[in-house]
């Protein structure tokens, strides 16, 4: 009998080793996109009060860590590219297997679309679901989303139930990053740093609504009903972008659905949160850039604080890791700005409240007469008299941005200009050469730059970076890093 027991124990041990090994192989060979954005949630599901659902509009448009900094809101963004509302419903159902948030924010883009999943690529569904282990709920999600789905029916269901089945043949493509788990500090959000010219936009009447009962309408109602059944607050949004008429009709329909269920709805097309499509669009007709998303996140965080009983956890010791993660998040933002090579993208990224900026444009710098550059500077502070820059382009200009305000200084010929800010003392003067000092250090290089940017951290006033630009021969790039 003891021999049988030993044999049985050996078999069980071997099976356990096999399962653990298979799980390890699955983690190594799987694509890391889903885990990169959403994996952190499973280390802290008991700490999350607010879950955000939606498509790329929401993953690019709502920043949980900005709401943490300003209001102590513990939120996680589970939106993903191409996620229709039925996909968001099943993401929520899977999340509820691990914990129950106090609040769910659902973006209502796609209401007028009649697909359950993106018609473009099945990879979008991988991004949404791969992070969830195999479970009864995940099986139910795959069964439901496959019904009458032409695109998904060309794939195997097991691909989505067990990622190892899909990715086991990636051995030849494995890289160092596949063996080291890396996760975003943004709690699911993805930042877009860039600027595009928006398409023409005209807000239609709120009386014009979508009259179809699409799959997205059906599943939005299912999300609201599920939240109400579980005692979860549900807030609907429609994030801002230069929406066409049909998408606007969908945004108008959400007013009726919100009223029907007695939930709040923020249609950002009808809300003044400071969005300017000329400065806040990453692409021409769909997504917000970092500047736009910061504005939306600031408005949304304040709205949640004022309208719901969601705790401020900034002084809560159980959330001490969030402040450390926030510091990593700030570094991520800085790195993304540093990777850009023209002054307009730098300015767009540095509207961010975590950074202060000292910016010097030398006399007759091309950027001082460029309408896009001036518009982006105005975006830093609507009260600033940016016209002064254009009027005095031949004299150059010093700008200091801190605490959300922009101060402008026009040098006088033959005189030393001095200014003080949180980052320190600034001085401009010229002899046979131009000079710009910050705290006694002359920042001009031997090869004279046309623009100097001194970046500091808003919280500590410590130097974060110094960047020098020269005028570019490319008419689309006003100045380039060198």
Burial 220-239 (b: 16+ CB within 10 A, else e): bbbbbebbeeeebbbbbbbb
Flag whether pLDDT at 78 surpasses 90. yes
pLDDT in tens, 318-348: 999 999 999 999 999 999 999 888 899 999 9
What percentage of the chain carries pLDDT values higher than 70?
86
The 10s digit of each residue's pLDDT in 171-229 is: 555 565 554 567 888 999 999 999 999 999 999 999 999 988 999 999 999 999 999 99
pLDDT at 120 > cutoff 90: no
Map residue 199 onto helix, strand or coil: coil
What is the pLDDT at residue 26? 47
Looking at the predicted structure, is the pLDDT value of residue 31 above 70? no
Segment 374-405, tens digit of pLDDT: 999 999 999 999 999 999 999 999 999 999 89
- Scan for tokens 């949004």, then name that residue: 237
Predicted pLDDT at 430: 86
Q: What confidence score (pLDDT) does residue 478 get? A: 65
Nearest 5 degrees, angle CA 365-CA 371-CA 376? 90
* Alpha-carbon gap, residue 44 to 245, rounded angstroms: 41
What pLDDT, on the 0 to 100 scale, is given for residue 189?
Answer: 96
pLDDT tens per residue, range 230-258: 999 999 999 999 999 999 999 999 999 99
pLDDT at 471: 83
Query: Region 84-111: what's the mean pLDDT?
Result: 97
Q: What is the pTM of this model?
A: 0.88
Average confidence (pLDDT) over 5-13: 56
pLDDT digits over 439-448, tens only?
999 998 777 8
pLDDT of residue 431: 83
Using DSSP, how many helices (H) and how many strands (E) does the chain show? 17, 15
Given a contact cutoff of 8 angstroms between Cβ atoms, the answer to whether 59 and 188 are in contact is yes
Per-residue confidence (pLDDT) for residue 475, from 0 to 100: 58
CA 157 to chain centre: 30
């Amino acid at each position: 009998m003891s021999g049988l027991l030993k044999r049985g124990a050996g078999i069980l041990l071997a099976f356990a080793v096999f399962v653990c090994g298979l799980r390890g192989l699955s983690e190594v060979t799987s694509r890391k996109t889903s885990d990169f954005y959403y994996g952190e949630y499973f280390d802290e599901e008991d700490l999350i009060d607010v879950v955000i659902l939606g498509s790329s509009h929401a993953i690019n448009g709502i920043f949980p860590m900005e709401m943490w900094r300003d209001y102590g809101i513990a939120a996680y963004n589970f939106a993903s590219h191409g996620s229709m509302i039925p996909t968001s419903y099943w993401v929520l159902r899977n999340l509820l297997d691990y914990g129950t948030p106090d609040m769910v924010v659902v973006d209502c883009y796609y209401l007028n679309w009649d697909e359950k999943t993106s018609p473009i690529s099945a990879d979008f569904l991988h991004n949404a679901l791969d992070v969830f282990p195999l479970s009864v709920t995940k099986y139910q999600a795959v069964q439901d989303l496959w019904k009458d789905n032409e695109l998904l029916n060309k794939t195997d269901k097991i691909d989505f139930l067990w990622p190892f089945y899909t990715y086991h043949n990636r051995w030849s493509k494995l890289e160092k990053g596949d063996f080291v788990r890396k996760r975003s500090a943004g709690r699911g959000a993805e930042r877009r740093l860039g600027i595009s010219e928006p398409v023409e936009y005209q807000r239609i009447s709120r009386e014009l609504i979508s009259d179809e009962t699409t799959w997205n309408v059906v599943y939005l109602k299912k999300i609201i009903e599920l939240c109400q059944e579980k005692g979860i607050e549900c807030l609907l949004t429609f994030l801002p972008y230069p929406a066409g008429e049909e998408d606007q009709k969908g945004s108008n329909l959400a007013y009726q659905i919100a009223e029907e269920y007695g939930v709040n709805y923020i249609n950002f097309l009808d809300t003044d949160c400071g969005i300017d499509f000329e400065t806040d669009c990453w692409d021409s007709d769909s997504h917000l850039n970092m500047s736009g998303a910061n504005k939306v996140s600031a408005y949304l965080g304040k709205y949640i604080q004022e309208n719901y009983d969601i705790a401020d956890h900034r002084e809560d010791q159980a959330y001490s890791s969030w402040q450390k993660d926030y510091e990593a998040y700030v570094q991520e933002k800085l790195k993304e700005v540093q990777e850009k090579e023209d002054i307009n993208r730098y300015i767009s990224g540095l509207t961010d409240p975590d950074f202060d900026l000292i910016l010097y444009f030398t006399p007759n710098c091309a950027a001082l007469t460029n309408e896009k550059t001036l518009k982006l500077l105005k975006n830093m502070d609507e009260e600033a008299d940016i016209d002064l820059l254009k009027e005095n382009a031949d004299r150059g200009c010093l700008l200091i941005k801190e605490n959300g305000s922009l101060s402008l200084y026009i040098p006088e010929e033959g005189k030393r200009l001095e200014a003080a800010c949180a980052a320190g003392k600034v001085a401009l003067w010229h002899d046979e050469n131009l000079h710009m000092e910050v705290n006694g250090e002359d920042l001009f290089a031997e090869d004279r730059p046309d623009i100097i940017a001194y970046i500091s951290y808003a919280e500590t006033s410590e130097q974060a970076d110094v960047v020098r630009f020269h005028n570019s021969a490319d008419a689309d790039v006003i100045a380039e890093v060198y």
